[in-house]
Amino acid sequence: MGFCLQCWLTLLLLALLVWASFAYLALDLSRLFSLESGRGMLQFILRFFPPDTSAQFLRKIAGATLETLAISAIGTLLAAGAGLLLALPAAGRLGPVFKALTRFLLNALRSVPELVWAALMVLAAGLGPFAGTLALALHTSGVLGRLYAESLENAPPEPAQSLVESGAPPALAFGYATLPLIAPQLLSYSLYRWEMNIRMATVLGFVGAGGLGQMLYYELSLLHEAQASSVIFAMLALVVFVDAASAWVRRRQMRAGG
Amino acid sequence: MSFELDRIGLIHSNGQAQGQRALRAVSISAARGERLAIIGPSGAGKTTLLRILATSIRPTEGRVSVLGTNPWQLSSRELRRLRSGVGFIHQAPPIPPRQRVITAVIAGRLGQWPWWKSALSLIYPADIAGPREQLARLDLADRLFDRCDRLSGGQLQRVGVARVLYQRPDLLLADEPVSAMDPALADLTVGQLHAEAQSRGVTLVASLHAVDIALRWFPRVIGLKAGELVFDLPPAKVSESVLRDLYASETGVLPSQDNQPFHASFEGYATDDTPGGSGQVPLAPPRVI
């Protein structure tokens, strides 16, 4: 019937694990839902209102927003260039040795998260937007290089082959035959990563890599809640704007790509 | 001598057809300016023979000489120079769908232009009049700036022909160059290939499924069957019985331009030029002769 020993045992085990976790972390759930803590939370949230909307501070936010956008744009652009350069050997165009080497390099670049790259780059290049740009470029090169390499490997070889067989140098055959085949795919990968990088760039500032994040970290450290909430709203607005813009671009692309 | 094949044979070394024999002891040679048609049932080795002449595959037996040299003894630089003199018209033109027609035609000269000129032409074509002239010969000048995926299969095939005409090769190879065209356009296109070969005195080798076009246009017709040379005759000597022998294993009817449906093979964007396919008579069922 509905009885199943294994299911019951699994459920029991799960319940036990949950209880053990609470006990180990010394979390007291009852305190979270008490009236007193509710009041505390409300007070905490209220301290963020009203946000600072003085013209001078808004100007500062606009500057930081622009900086965030610039970090993400240049980071993605650098990554697209490096990714394309790395994708050629990674797709096996220069032989199996280079393929294995670049694949390893791409994996290494990709497996270190942006925030860790940013922390490293702040040490290497100092505080500020340059570190953030480098961090995004390094991680995104790993991602885009891998995606580009896959597009390259899946592209049909006949168009480029036919040009090589009419005497074209391989680099030009690539430009005339392979690139137009994969260009739409490369473009949409890059735009998608740019969108992710804008969101990432707002956070990178927390380790001192410039933009809105750095501003938020600064204001929070000084317990300027009103200013911090303005920055948070600016971040929200930026992300909503980027989502809408990328949806619009994608719709257009879909219509154009018959 | 434009090319010379001396007892060449080919056994496929990889892929699906591994170990299969595609050609056996085929010897053909042609002087500069000759025009040859290769006919035979599908799977006879027509495309393989042309690809050997195009230096894209190396025969496993025999000796090849193309435009006076053995392509397999050249350095890569010399091979590239040789290849820029060999034009190959593909049955399904391998052209990126989003490329503009003019860029696809200009690609024919990549082996001859300095690299910076070719690279700049990706952004703005360095020659517009040349490609337009070649397209005009094939009644396609008005599509110069269209994207290739806006063309029908027959139009795309003519863009492929225009690319090779623009290349101005010394050896013009064509693999089923008119298979997606209706009879009138097929005649126009084959006529232009002949005009090109005659006016510049270059050699033309075309494989054709349409026997009528081969007999009408070419001074020399080669019959290929199961990888072997069956005949090499002037069209007047290609009798009905010779042809029936050649195609015996396929169907009772002889294939001609207006009764053979076209099978697209490259990415599936090729479609038939015949309006609504109405000009097509279905193949008669196979019968024993």
- What pairing do the DSSP bridges indicate for beta strands B3-11 and B171-175? unpaired
Residue B115 CB-half CA count within 13 A: 8
| Residue partners of A110: CB distance under 8 A and separation at least 6 | A139, A142, A143, A146
CATH class of A55-256: mainly alpha
d(CA A53, CA B208): 78
- Taking the CA of residue A182 and the nearest CA in chain B, the distance in Å comes to 9
Q: What is the CATH number of the domain that holds B88?
A: 3.40.50.300
**Residue where the block lists tokens 């299911």:** A7
Query: Residue B191: pLDDT above 90?
Result: yes
Asked, for residue B101, whether it belongs to a domain, the answer is yes
**Domain limits, chain A:** 55-256
Beta-carbon separation of B110 and A165 below 8 A? no
CA distances from B110 to A171, A175, B118, B274 (A): 10, 11, 6, 33
Q: Which residues of B touch A167 (CB under 8 A)?
A: 80-86, 110-112
- Taking the CA of residue B284 and the nearest CA in chain A, the distance in Å comes to 34
Interface test with A, best of B57, B80, B165, B269 (most A CBs within 10 A): B80
Of A192, A197, A202, A185, residue with least CA distance to A247 = A192
* pLDDT score recorded for residue A2: 61
Q: How many separate domains does chain B show?
A: 1
Asked if B190 has any chain A CB less than 8 Å from its own CB, the reply is no
Of A167, A181, A258, the CB nearest to B80: A167
- The DSSP annotation for A172-198 comes to HHIIIIIHHHHHHHHHHHHHHHHHHHH
Beta-carbon separation of A159 and B96 below 8 A? yes
Asked if A162 has any chain B CB less than 8 Å from its own CB, the reply is yes
Asked, for residue B283, whether it belongs to a domain, the answer is no
Q: Which residues of A touch B103 (CB under 8 A)?
A: 176
Asked, for residue B155, whether it belongs to a domain, the answer is yes
Domain that holds residue B27: 3-275
d(CA A210, CA A68): 7
Beta-carbon separation of A172 and B267 below 8 A? no
Per-residue pLDDT of chain A (258 residues; tens, 9 = 90+): 566 888 899 999 999 999 898 888 887 777 777 888 888 888 888 888 888 888 888 888 888 888 888 989 999 999 999 999 999 999 888 888 898 999 999 999 999 988 899 888 888 888 888 888 999 999 999 999 999 999 999 999 899 999 999 999 988 999 999 999 998 889 889 888 988 898 888 888 888 777 888 888 888 888 888 888 888 898 889 888 888 888 888 788 776 654
Interface test with A, best of B86, B118, B146, B165 (most A CBs within 10 A): B118
DSSP letter at A206?
Answer: G
Of A73, A162, A244, A69, residue with least CA distance to B91 = A162
3-state secondary structure chain B: CCEEEEEEEEECCCCCCCCCEEEEEEEEEECCCCEEEEECCCCCCHHHHHHHHCCCCCCCEEEEEECCECHHHCCHHHHHHHHCCEEEECCCCCCCCCCEHHHHHHHHHCCCCCHHHHHHHCCCCCCCHHHHHHHHHCCCHHHCCCEHHHCCHHHHHHHHHHHHHHHCCCEEEEECCCCCCCHHHHHHHHHHHHHHHHHHCCEEEEECCCHHHHHHHCCEEEEEECCEEEEEECHHHCCHHHHHHHHCCCCCCCCCCCCCCCCCCCCCCCCCCCHHHCCCCCCCCCCCC
Q: Is the peptide bond before A50 cis (omega within 30 degrees of 0)?
A: yes
**What are the φ/ψ torsions at residue B28 (nearest 5 degrees)?**
-140, 140
Asked, for residue B282, whether it belongs to a domain, the answer is no
Asked if A171 has any chain B CB less than 8 Å from its own CB, the reply is yes
Selected residues 98-137 of chain A with any CB under 8 Å from a CB in chain B: none
Angle at CA of residue A166, ends B218 and B10, nearest 5°:
70
Query: Residue B157: pLDDT above 60?
Result: yes
Of B55, B86, B266, the CB nearest to A158: B266
| Residue partners of B225: CB distance under 8 A and separation at least 6 | B40, B41, B44, B246
Of B54, B81, B95, the CB nearest to A165: B54
Q: Which residues of A touch B84 (CB under 8 A)?
A: 166-168
Asked, for residue B287, whether it belongs to a domain, the answer is no
For the sheet with B21-30, list strands across it.
B21-30, B3-11, B61-66
Q: Which residue has the higher pLDDT, B228 or B20?
A: B228
* pLDDT score recorded for residue B251: 56
